Amino acid sequence: MDFSSFSLAPAITAGITACGFQAPTPIQQQTLPAALAGQDVMGLAQTGTGKTAAFVLPILQRLLSGPKGRVRALVLAPTRELAEQIAVAARELGSKTGLRTVAVYGGVSKNSQLAQLRRGVEIIVACPGRLLDHLREGAIKLDGVEVLVMDEGDQMFDMGFLPDIRRIMRYLPAKRQNMLFSATMPADIRRLAGELLVDPQEVRIACDQPAATISQALYPVEAKQKTAMLLTLLAENAENPVRSALVFTRTKHGAKKLARRLNAAGHRASDLQGNMSQNKRQAALDGFRDGTFTILVATDIAARGLDVAKVSHVINYDMPNTAEAYTHRIGRTGRAQRQGAAFSLVLQEDQTLIRAIERGLGKSIERRQLEALVPCEPDQAAPPPRGRRPGSRPDSRPASRRPGTSARPRRQGRSQSASGPRAV
Ligand code: ADP
Ligand code: MG
């Protein structure tokens, strides 16, 4: 099957060609007919399967005819980076259509967004909070919206955007096309779909399975050896060198600290986390995309859904909270048929989660050990429970004289690392 079977306008076909897409992906094949016919759509597919074009193409096709210079399509996305990424995709796919897309999100000045809006725009891609600000100030009118898309629905829900989304709904006309896309389908999303969608076309594609192009491995480790283990993984892997790695940490502070340590060890690394200004976040992402940084150390929310074409490795420095989050994370590599590897540093206390992940996969993940670790300062004790001060100081003995610098996985009791607040 190719794109010609959808009777898209020539201007849109030209955009598809310019993007280098030859054939629709499965989610595109199965949602485009209904979406182009104006029907509501619920699309469930893992990350990297091409959901963006599945909603952008029908929007472009619809907006080619009808009034220009007013907002006729609204896409809601959970993070600034995702909003920006979707806006870029809409501009690229729509490059020959004359349709204009503006991304609206917080953390940057309202004025430049307002200036773009004043020049006239047909498509808005927005994060809920900043959009509501503009709506309350009367700077954006949504009474001409014909299509509403909620992208990354599960993450929107996790981030607590549902009340904001309900408020935004009040600014929209009741009669419109709705599309909801999500990587997973927890009960909350099913309920939201019930509220939002009318007689939707439901498409579900291998929802909980990571792409077959991703090879996965677990590295049992003790908390204090994680950094040494990571440095070793980054240094070794001759058969599959780490060209660009996305490393996940549990906390914003952890991301910042780890990026600093990697830089000190001679890597080109940046962090990407919610404490950074929007400009710094974008610079980190751009630097990772263009190869200035080979390592991006990120928290979940900062990184979910991001499309970076050439991530060779995803490394879970800290394991996520849920099996679903694991699937999301490792979906950042192996995208669009590229080979990728996903390594996880696992503590004894992660075993329950690992079992849940393996149940979901229907197979066990290979356990690997390293011969010897790159010596480095041991990791400081992980964050203590809320309200307590850290008790231990880093060991200042040289690595060679410290116990436990070998990579052999030794079991240890509950470490403190899971007890800190889960900030992202
Ligand atoms: P998702 O939203 O499902 O995580 P994206 O929409 O971000 O996935 O797409 C993942 C990557 O695949 C992007 O780089 C995108 O340009 C590319 N892509 C999308 N559709 C196609 C297609 N039909 N052919 C080739 N590449 C595609
Ligand atoms: Mg997406």
* pLDDT at 112 > cutoff 80: yes
CA dihedral 227, 229, 230, 232 (to 10 degrees): 120
Closest CA to 221 of 392, 418, 406, 416: 406
> Does the Cβ of 182 fall within 6 Å of ligand 1?
no
> Does the Cβ of 335 fall within 6 Å of ligand 1?
yes
Grade residue 412 by pLDDT with cuts at 50, 70 and 90: very low
Between residues 375 and 292, the one the model is more confident about: 292
Query: How does pLDDT run across 197-251, given as a tens digit for each residue?
Result: 999 999 988 645 566 678 899 999 999 999 999 999 998 765 667 888 999 999 9
Residue 208 has a pLDDT of: 53
Query: How does pLDDT run across 113-136, given as a tens digit for each residue?
Result: 899 999 999 999 999 999 999 999
Q: Going by CA atoms, what residue is nearest to atom 2 of ligand 1?
A: 51
- Counting from 1 in the atom list of ligand 1, the atom nearest the Cα of 28 is 23
Residue 376 has a pLDDT of: 64
Ligand number nearest CA of 77 is: 2
Structural contact between residues 8 and 21, judged by C-beta atoms closer than 8 angstroms: no
Between residues 31 and 335, the one the model is more confident about: 31
Query: How does pLDDT run across 247-287, given as a tens digit for each residue?
Result: 999 999 999 999 999 999 999 999 999 899 889 999 999 99
Question: If you classify domain 3-205 with CATH, what class do you get?
Answer: alpha beta
CA distance linking residue 321 with residue 253, whole number of Å: 17
* pLDDT at 158 > cutoff 90: no
Query: How does pLDDT run across 31-54, given as a tens digit for each residue?
Result: 999 999 999 999 998 777 899 999
* Least confident segment among 58-72, 151-165, 167-181: 151-165
Mean pLDDT of 300-326: 82
> How many angstroms separate the Cα of 29 from the Cα of each of 21, 228, 243?
13, 45, 32
Q: Give the residue extent of every domain in the chain.
A: 3-205, 214-367
> Does the Cβ of 53 fall within 6 Å of ligand 1?
yes
Which CATH number is 214-367 given?
A: 3.40.50.300
CA distance linking residue 368 with residue 409, whole number of Å: 9
Q: Going by CA atoms, what residue is nearest to atom 10 of ligand 1?
A: 48
* Strand pairing report for 214-220 and 147-150: unpaired
Residue 401 has a pLDDT of: 36
- Counting from 1 in the atom list of ligand 1, the atom nearest the Cα of 52 is 6
Residue 43 has a pLDDT of: 94
* Least confident segment among 150-154, 304-308, 323-327, 354-358: 304-308
Grade residue 308 by pLDDT with cuts at 50, 70 and 90: confident
> Does the Cβ of 47 fall within 6 Å of ligand 1?
yes
Closest CA to 383 of 423, 419, 424, 347: 419
Ligand number nearest CA of 83 is: 2
Between residues 166 and 389, the one the model is more confident about: 166
Residue 329 has a pLDDT of: 84
Between residues 154 and 151, the one the model is more confident about: 151
* 20: its two tokens: 């280098």
Closest CA to 168 of 200, 198, 130: 130
Same fold, 3-205 and 214-367: yes
Ligand number nearest CA of 53 is: 1
Mean pLDDT of 406-421: 36
CA of 44 to the centre of ligand 1 (A): 14
> Does the Cβ of 309 fall within 6 Å of ligand 1?
yes
User: Could you tell which of 4, 8, 21, 28 is best to mutate to test the pocket of ligand 1, judged by most ligand atoms within 8 Å of the CB?
Assistant: 21
Q: Going by CA atoms, what residue is nearest to atom 20 of ligand 1?
A: 50
Closest CA to 62 of 172, 176, 195: 176
Q: What is the 3-state secondary structure (H, E, C) of 353-381?
A: HHHHHHHHHCCCCEECCCCECCCCCCCCC
Closest CA to 112 of 135, 94, 93, 139: 139
> Does the Cβ of 153 fall within 6 Å of ligand 1?
no
- Counting from 1 in the atom list of ligand 1, the atom nearest the Cα of 305 is 4
Residue 380 has a pLDDT of: 55
User: Could you tell which of 12, 46, 92, 335 is best to mutate to test the pocket of ligand 1, judged by most ligand atoms within 8 Å of the CB?
Assistant: 335
AA identity, residue 126? A
> Does the Cβ of 50 fall within 6 Å of ligand 1?
yes
Name the average pLDDT for the chain.
Answer: 84
Between residues 185 and 101, the one the model is more confident about: 101
Phi, psi (rounded to 5 degrees) for 116: -65, -40
Report the b/e string of 237-269 with b at 16+ CB within 10 A.
eeeeebebbbbbbbbbbbbbbbbebbbebebeb
> Does the Cβ of 304 fall within 6 Å of ligand 1?
no
> Does the Cβ of 288 fall within 6 Å of ligand 1?
no
CA of 409 to the centre of ligand 2 (A): 37
